[in-house]
Amino acid sequence: MEKKLFKNIEMSLRKLIGLVALSIITLSACHKDLGDYEINMPATPDVVNLDTVYTAIVGDSLIIKPTIKNTNGDDIELQWRISVMTGNDVKFTGPALKIIFGLEAQRYAARLTVHNKTNGMKYFHDFFVDGGTEFGSGTAVLSLENGTTQFSFIKPGGEVQARLYQAMQGKDLPKEPMNLFLMKNTTAGGTLLGYWIITKGGGIRLNANTMQEDPKYPNTIADNFFAAPDNLVVGQLKQHPQGILAGVISNALTYGTTNTWDQSPTYGMFSAAEGEYQLAPSFIMNFNQNQGTYFIGFERNLKQFVRLNVYNGPTYFGTQYDSESTAIFDPKNVGMDLIHMEQLNGSDCFAYCKASDGKVYELFFNVKFTGPFTFTPLKKRLFIRQELITEKTKWQGAKNGIIYLASGSKVYRYNPINEDLRELSTDLGGTEVTMIRLSENEETIMVGVAGSIYYLDISTGKLGTFIKKIEGIPGSPVDVATR
């Protein structure tokens, strides 16, 4: 019995040893077998003359024609795709991409797929297409020519495309032009939202790339209201950093909504602050991205400064504010008519008012806009050059505390802190100044006279030194917007 048991154990051990030996031999054979084969991958086609970025002009041909090498006679097909966020990708198959570029002026991701149909391999090459227009850079001009509102465009080289709106639309703009704004949402990366041409009785919105009315948005001031006033008269509008318009329309504070995405058709649509009040056209708008938007207006009938805020829409608070003193002047009982208001440095506020005897006074004050809202009068005095202030005077306040004003045929630099007032040095030919506009960096001032725009240097140490002159403007410039 014991012998038989030991014999069975011995046989089992022999079988186990045999299996281990066989496994080792098999693994060794497999290892050697791997070294006996060569893998022959197909040659990768070389793509030559394919750039990383292409610029395409809307309405023009986009042609991209690379050279494909190292194909070994295989059947090669080129597949092209330009990706569009809406899902309507542009697709094309052929040895060269040849299309009429009809997308909007922005950057698109694109891909060339090299398909070797002989062996089924595909090779991918990514690049970008920057959509642009002939209006991608330059200066738009609003002017008045013999009673007709004109919209023109100055190309970067100085060439003037005069009466552009009239030529493209076959009709005239509304009368009495006031302002031209290139709308940008600077709080969201500078998204362009088109041009607004503002006139006394309304206005027109244009797509910034096509200069056509944009079907996505309301294209008139009246249509831009949720509920438009019966008698629409624009007092003054300003461009808000969020890419909307805010100001006085039909004597009420009007404010564009920002309670949605800036690509929504309702973004920037107007509502008005409710209440029994009549605002003068001029106002101060104070914006802080963290604290909101606040306004100082002027009730024209009661001749008092009033407070307005934005709380899910424009809100009228009237004289619900604290006044630290009334000895210099009483903001709730000014007793004069408002001509103009400016806020400088984000804090110092100036109002120019006409008394019943016709004299113009300068009121200097500060406002604490957030909790509690406080109005602080600082100074009241006769303006140093009474004859310069008329209903035609043009105003531009700068961040460095300077006010530029145009009266008659001259432009002046005025420092309200020390009453230093100087005429700019460039001779404008004795022609009435119809426009002044500061450049974005406030180192240049653009001055409009009949048929021309002067560019003057107002950087540190310069008093309006001549830079250049653009001629060929139809009529008298009213406003400009540079892109």
Q: What is the pLDDT of residues 438-483, one digit of tens each?
A: 999 999 999 999 999 999 999 999 999 999 999 999 999 999 999 9
Which domains does the chain possess? 46-132 (2.60.40.10), 136-146+386-483 (2.20.25)
- Going by pLDDT thresholds of 50, 70 and 90, the confidence category of residue 7 is very low
Answer whether 331's CB lies under 8 Å from 339's CB: no
* Phi, psi angles (nearest 5°) of residue 168: -80, -35
Residue 57 has pLDDT above 90, yes or no: no
The half-sphere exposure of 108 on its side-chain side, counting CA atoms within 13 A, is: 24
Q: What is the pLDDT of residues 114-141, one digit of tens each?
A: 999 999 999 999 999 988 888 889 999 9
Name the residue among 153, 68, 61 with its Cα closest to residue 115.
Answer: 68
Name the residue among 149, 259, 146 with its Cα closest to residue 202.
Answer: 149
- Going by pLDDT thresholds of 50, 70 and 90, the confidence category of residue 325 is confident
Answer whether 254's CB lies under 8 Å from 260's CB: no
Q: For residue 372, how many other CB atoms are within 10 A of its CB?
A: 8
Q: What is the pLDDT of residues 286-300, one digit of tens each?
A: 998 888 999 999 999
Residue holding tokens 């004003």? 405
10-14, 105-109, 445-449, 464-468: least confidently modelled range: 10-14
CA distance 69 to 15: 61
| 416, two tokens | 């309200």
Residue holding tokens 């309006």? 464
Residue holding tokens 């056509």? 212
pLDDT (mean) for 412-429: 97
User: 337: Cβ–Cβ under 8 A, 6 or more apart, which residues?
Assistant: 280, 300, 303, 353, 354
Name the residue among 203, 48, 183 with its Cα closest to residue 483.
Answer: 183
Q: What is the pLDDT of residues 202-214, one digit of tens each?
A: 899 999 988 888 8
What torsion, rounded to 10 degrees, do the Cα atoms 258, 260, 261, 267 define? -60
Q: Is the pTM of this model over 0.85?
A: no
Q: Is 148 exposed, middle or buried (0-12, 13-18, 19+ CB in 10 A)?
A: middle
Name the residue among 393, 439, 430 with its Cα closest to residue 414.
Answer: 393
